[in-house]
Structure 1
C-alpha cells in the first residue's frame, strides 16, 4: 500500500462474497506452540509482504492473550535476525521498559522474571508475563554476538509514567546537574497531595484552573539544558522529561469529553518512536536508517481512518506512522480470534482474572473468518488492487478487548472496521488462550494451555 485513501461508501456486501475474499488472501497457519520450522514456513508470505519496509507494527486484539505475544515474538526474531531490525518499542512505560532494555542489551544480570518485577503499575500482566520473559531471553542471546552499538533495544512508548519519570529526572539532576535540582523539586511541590494520584490531579484541574503544566515544561527545559553536558544518560533523561510533560497533559485532559487525551497519548508514542529511530540510525550523510518493530493493541496500530475512530476525531500510531514515515515503508499487522480465554480485570485497578472469551458476534470479521477457514488458523495478506480487495473493505465489527473487560456484556467491544484499509496483513487464531502472568495467580478457572507449550518457542 503506497498511501492511505478512504474508500467510497458501498452497499453492505453479502457474507458469502466476503468469506470468499478472505479465503483467497489467506494461507494456513500452524499452532504457535508447535515446531519452529513449521511456523517459519507459514510466515513466509508475511516476510515477503514486509520486504524492505522499515516499520513493522504488530497488533493484538487483547492485552491478555498468549498466542498474540508468541506470534509477535516469532515475527520479531525473524525480522531482527534476517532483516536487520534495530529495536522493539511497546505499549509500555519508558522507565519500566528501560530496565528490560538494559537486560536484553546485556548491561545488567539476573533472571528475566526478576527484571520484570519492575512492572508494578496495573495492569502488571501486560509485560510481566512468561511470554515476555521468553522474548527477553531471545533478544539477549541475539545481542550476545553483536557489538554494543548494534545491540537490539527494547523501549516503552507509553505516557502513563508521570510519577516514575519525575523521580528518574530528579535522580538524574541530583547526580549530574545538582544546580538544576530546584526545578525538579518545584514540579514535585506543584502536584502536592495529588502526587501519585492521577485521578485526583485530573479532578483538581477540571474544577480549578491550577495545573502543573508550566512546572513540567520548566523541568523539561532544565533537563534538556543539563543533558547538553552529558552524553551517556542524556537520551533517557530527556525522554523521561518528555514522558512527564505529555503524561501531565494526558491526565489533565482525560476527564474532558472528546478525543484530546487519546490523541495526546498516541502522538507521544509516535514522537517517541521517531526519536528512537534517530538514535538508532547512522547520523552520517546518507547513513543507514534504523528499522523498528512496534507492539501495541490493534486500536493503536490499525489505521484509525479505517474505523469509526476517525469520525470521533481520534488519531492513532498506525495512521500517524503511515503519514510520517511513509505508508509504503510501514506494514500494519492486526491480530484476532473467535473464542478462547483472556487475562483482564473487571474494573480499572481490579484483580486480574482469567476470563472466557465468548464466541465472536455474528457476522463480525472474526465470525466470518471462522466460517471461511472452517475453524482453522490463517495468515491473511490483503491485496492492493481494489477489485480483488473490494469485499474486504466492508465496514464490520472487529473485536477489541482492553485491560478492563466483562465477557457477559461485550457487545460494545467491536470497532466497525474497513479491515483491508486498517491493516496490511492479519493473523487469525481461531481459539486463543490467556497468557501467564508472573506477579500473582489470576482469579478464575485454570486455562487449558496446549500440551505442546512451550516447545518450539
Structure 2
C-alpha cells in the first residue's frame, strides 16, 4: 500500500492515461469526449502556471477551429475583458494585445496580463480577421469585482445614447459617492448595518435601463445591440457586486455562492447574446480556476452548502457541458505572499500524501489526459474522497494543508483531468499588481 492507496491504482492510471507529447493530436481524445457539447469549462489548479494557460489555449484553439466554438469567457472582470473583446473583434482602439489587456490592473493583474494570454489574444485577433463581423469569436469576463468601473461604464453608455437618463443614473449611483471608490469601505458599512445599503438604487437603475432597451438598440449604429448588451451587463453586475460586498462579511458560503451564481448567470446571458448575434448555437469555452468549474457537489465545501459555476452549468445544461480540470505535483508558480503583494516566482512543494496529485505522480507519466467519464473499475476508484490542491493568487507553503487543500471525489467533480507532473510559473507582463481600495480580497482558497 502507498499511503492507503492500492499499489495497482497508479499502474491503472498509467494504463488509462493518454500521454501528452506536444504533438498536434494531443487533445484529439478530449475533443472526442467533448462531442456535441456546447459548453466546455476548463480549469486550472493555480492562477499562475504557464502550462495551464498554454494548454488551455491549445485546447480552445482546436475547439474554435474544429468544433465551431464562438466565444471565450474567463474568470476576469466584465469591463476589462470587454476591452479585449473589442480588440479581437477589431472594434477597439488598442494597437496590440498588450495594450488591449491594460484594463486588467486590479490585483492580481498577472492572471490576465501575462505572456501566455498575450499569445492567445494575438491568435484570436488573427483568426477573426478573416471572418464577417458577427461571426468573430468574442472574449468576455464573468466576474463581479468591477463595482465602480461598471457604474462608470453604465454612465458612459447613457451619456452617449440618452443624456437625460445619464443624469438620473448618476443621481442613483451617488449613493456610493462618500465611499470614494472604495468597495471595502462600502462592504464594512453596509454589511455591518452602520449605513444604508445602495441595493434599491442599483436595482432601479437596471430596471430603468431595461425599460428603454428597445429604443436604445434601434439606434442607427452598427453595434447598437452589442453596446446595449455591454451596458446592461454592467448594470446587472453592479447589482450583484453590491450584494456581494454587502454580504461578504456575513460568511464565506453566502458570498461565494453569490459570486459563482453571478458568473453562471453571466454565462447564460452570453449564450443568449452570442446565439442571437451569430444566428447559430452559442458554443462557449470557459476559463476559470478548478474551484469554480469542478462540480462543487463532489467536494467537502459543497457539503457545507457551497455551489459553483460547474455545478450550476451541469444543472442547467446537463450533457451539453464538459468540465475539465488541471493538476500538478510540483514546480514553480507565480503568486503573491499577501493580498496586494508583489508577483513572485515561488517553488511549489511536492503534493501531500493521500492527494490526487501524489497519486498521479506515482503513475509515472509526466504529462497526461485522463478520461473520467468512461465507466470502469478505475473510475470507481477515483470516486473515493481524497485531498486535492488549489492554489489561488496567494501561495502559502508554510500553511499548505490548511490553505490549499480540500477533499474531493475527482470522477464526480470533472469529466476529464489533465496532469502535468512538473509545471513552471507564468510570466507576468509586470512584477507588481496594483492593490488599491477599490476592491477587496477574493475568496477561498487563498484568492480563487
TM-score by length of 1: 0.88
| More displaced stretch, 339-348 vs 223-232 | 223-232
Query: 2:320 is matched with which residue: 326, 329, 336?
Result: 329
Q: Give me the whole-angstrom Cα distance separating, in 2, the residues matched to 1:279 and 1:116.
A: 23
**Runs (5+) with no aligned partner, structure 1:** 1-11, 32-37, 443-457
Which of 385, 405, 410 is the matching residue for 2:400? 410
2:85 corresponds to: 101
User: CA, structure 1 residues 410+183, in 2 after alignment: closer, same or farther (shift >3 Å)?
Assistant: farther
1:380 is matched with 370
In structure 2, distance between residues paired with 1:239 and 1:320: 19
Instruction: Name the structure where helix makes up a greater proportion of residues.
Output: 2
Paired with 1:173 and 1:23, the residues of 2 have a C-alpha distance of: 58
Shift of 1:371: 0.7
| 200-209 or 423-432: bigger deviation | 200-209
Which of 217, 222, 235 is equivalent to 1:241? 235
Alpha-carbon spacing, 1:141–1:440, altered in 2? closer, same or farther (3 Å): same
Q: Deviations over 1:182-220 (max 9, x none)?
A: 332233321132132121111101222511111111111
**Is it true that 1:368 corresponds to 2:359 in the alignment?**
yes
1:73 aligns with 2:57: yes
Tell me the equivalent position of 1:453: none
The CA RMSD over aligned residues, in Å, is 1.8
**Paired positions, count:** 420
Deviation sequence 1:50-74 (CA, Å, 0-9, x none):
1111110000001111100000000
SS in 1 for 2:301: coil
Name which of 103, 113, 133 aligns with 2:98.
Answer: 113
Q: Distance in 2 between matches of 1:26 and 1:226?
A: 54
Query: Please, which runs of 5 or more residues in structure 2 have no aligned partner?
Result: 218-223, 434-448
For the pair 1:88 / 2:83, whether they are aligned, the reply is: no
Of the three residues 386, 391, 394, the one matched with 2:384 is 394
Q: 2:297 aligns with which of 281, 305, 312?
A: 305
Please state whether the residue corresponding to 2:36 is helix, strand or coil: coil
- Residue of structure 1 in register with 2:333 after alignment: 342
The CA deviation at 1:120 is 1.1
Q: Which runs of 4+ in 1 moved over 4 A?
A: none
8 A Cα contact 1:228 1:234, kept in partner: no
Q: Following TM superposition, by how much is the alpha carbon of 1:257 offset from its aligned partner in structure 2, in angstroms? A: 1.7
In the alignment, is the contact (CA less than 8 A) between 2:325 and 2:414 conserved in 1? yes
1:251 to 245, 254, 263: 245
Secondary structure, counterpart of 2:260 in structure 1: helix
Aligned to 1:446: none
Q: Could you tell me how far apart the structure 2 residues matched to 1:433 and 1:186 are?
A: 49
The answer to whether structure 1 residue 189 and structure 2 residue 152 are counterparts is: no
- Alpha-carbon distance between aligned partners in 2 of 1:173 and 1:393, rounded to the nearest angstrom: 52
Change (3 A) 1:394 1:21: farther
Residue number in structure 1 paired with 2:258: 264
TM-score by length of 2: 0.90
Question: Quick one: which of 340, 347, 350 aligns to 1:356?
Answer: 347
